[in-house]
Structure 1
Amino acid sequence: MSGQTQEERNAVVRKKMLDLTNIKVGPLPEDSPWLRPARISFMQDGKAKNWDVSRIHDSVAIIIYNTTRKKLVFVRQFRPAAYYGTLPEKHQDVDTKQYPPEAGLTLELCAGIIDKNLPLVEIARDELKEEVGYEAPASAFEKILTYTDIAATTGRHTHFYVEVTDAMHTHPGGGDESEGELIEVVEMSIPEVLEYISSGNVQSPPGFLFGVMWFLSKKRDRYA
């Protein structure tokens, strides 16, 4: 494993993440591998209605607690969707001076899409190793729940909880470079997490908030 500290690795990743050029916003191609949009038309209570939806990949997410450091372990990435939310609703070339790429950085749970024919816990194990560098046996994972999106997108998402130690940190993490992933590994103490979610400026998806609240509800007394 590299002799760099986590902070040094994160600094390298951050520089690469924010090296964005030639950003363009255009229409969604019909053959998108990530979103499969459709319009549902139906009669309800005698009235004609339409609803636009999109099917997305099912996924797993992992709530990680390092018992050696007494820290929760998260990831930070550049998410085009988060960045898109800061842009005007029109097709355009994007000026990164007017719309800094930092607006697309999000703090999240370690997670990944289900794109292999494997048990979900094995996919979670792979993501744990690939994104944050820890190896843990399947027996260490506790399944929390599976839920389904109920808004404009639909997909099933499964949350796990796992406790790790420094001895289990055998890889640098940071994602799969061959797939172009750029991921920072972020450790936060319980007070730091509480400060973040109470800050009024939470740049994180709902799954992250659920994971944090679950941990605080179920595990906080054990590690306070």
Structure 2
Amino acid sequence: MGETKEHLSHVSFDDGLVASPYIKPIRMHFQRKGQTLHWDLGIEQDNVAIVLYHREKKALLFVRQFRPPVFVRKVRIMPENQGKPWNEIEWDKYPVELGKTLELCAGLMDKIGKSPKQIAIEEIEEECGYAVQEDRIHLIKSYITGISTSGSRQYLFYAIIDESMKATEGGGNVYEGEFIEKVFLDLKQAQELIDSEHLESPPGLLYAVKWFFDNFTKLFENPI
């Protein structure tokens, strides 16, 4: 028998969003070159992401998780839902799978006093279950990800892992509603992923995997 598909229940929407631990909506008013202008911002915290290569499995480790905005967008554009008010759509008809994305291990910089590297180490263990020492994880680059809404910055790291580092099964923080699946892709599968025309992944994953392939030989001549 096939696996039973998971569905949401009791879905509703509130237009009157106020600040939350994850996003603060705010409207900015300013003058520039003689014009009065306005811009809607969604202030978010900076974040970290990590390229993880498992030396024994010879595979990159990603995570798959449910992203409500992806689910909502896919359901809303279906022919039967176009033009419908949000709360009139039968959201519970559609499988959660529609909202799952393949991503790098990542997390918000929401712990005061901790560096991006320390946050990255905690996220690797929480989401993927591997305990990585601080001298085994290295910054690749940082860049702005939320250019039109938040201005937030992402710090991209790289680490080599193996089974001797495995501490838990990972899976994320269930108390925060995280139900994370670990996904290993060998190098052929990873190349096929970034060669795909349509991905269920954010653009940072493409850059990260491309960086890995561009630096693969150097990394293993001088492993970090």
Class of the TM-score when normalised by the shorter of the 2 chains: 0.7 to 0.9
Q: How many residues align?
A: 209
Aligned Cα root-mean-square deviation (Å): 2.2
Structure 1 stretch displaced more, 98-107 or 110-119: 98-107
Q: Superposed, which structure 2 residues align to 1:55-66 within 5 Å?
A: 55-66=43-54
Matches of 1:220 and 1:96 in 2, distance apart? Answer: 47
Structure 1 length-normalised TM? 0.84
Alignment correspondent of 2:18: 30
Residue by residue over 1:93-135, the C-alpha shift from the partner in whole angstroms, topping out at 9 and shown as x without a partner, is 5424654322110000001111112122111111111111111
Contact 2:8–2:95 at 8 Å: present in 1 too?
A: no
Alignment correspondent of 1:72: 60
Shift of residue 35, structure 1, vs aligned partner: 1.4
Give, as a single letter, the amino acid of the residue that structure 2 aligns with 1:133: G
Residues 1:156 and 2:153 are matched in the alignment? yes
Q: Superposed, which structure 2 residues align to 1:6-21 within 5 Å?
A: 18-21=6-9
Give, as a single letter, the amino acid of the residue that structure 1 aligns with 2:190: V
Contact 1:66–1:165 at 8 Å: present in 2 too?
A: yes
Contact 1:22–1:93 at 8 Å: present in 2 too?
A: no
Q: Superposed, which structure 2 residues align to 1:100-115 within 5 Å?
A: 100-115=95-110
Q: Superposed, which structure 2 residues align to 1:1-224 within 5 Å?
A: 18-88=6-76, 90-96=85-91, 99-116=94-111, 117-148=113-144, 149-219=146-216
Give, as a single letter, the amino acid of the residue that structure 2 aligns with 1:25: F
Percent identical residues: 34
Shift of residue 147, structure 1, vs aligned partner: 1.5
Alignment correspondent of 2:80: none
Matches of 1:15 and 1:55 in 2, distance apart? Answer: 38
Residue by residue over 1:165-202, the C-alpha shift from the partner in whole angstroms, topping out at 9 and shown as x without a partner, is 12212211111223331000000011101212222220
Give, as a single letter, the amino acid of the residue that structure 1 aligns with 2:165: M
Shift of residue 81, structure 1, vs aligned partner: 1.5
Gaps of 5+ in 2: 77-82
Distance 1:100 1:180, change over 3 A: closer
Shift of residue 36, structure 1, vs aligned partner: 1.0
Structure 2 length-normalised TM? 0.84
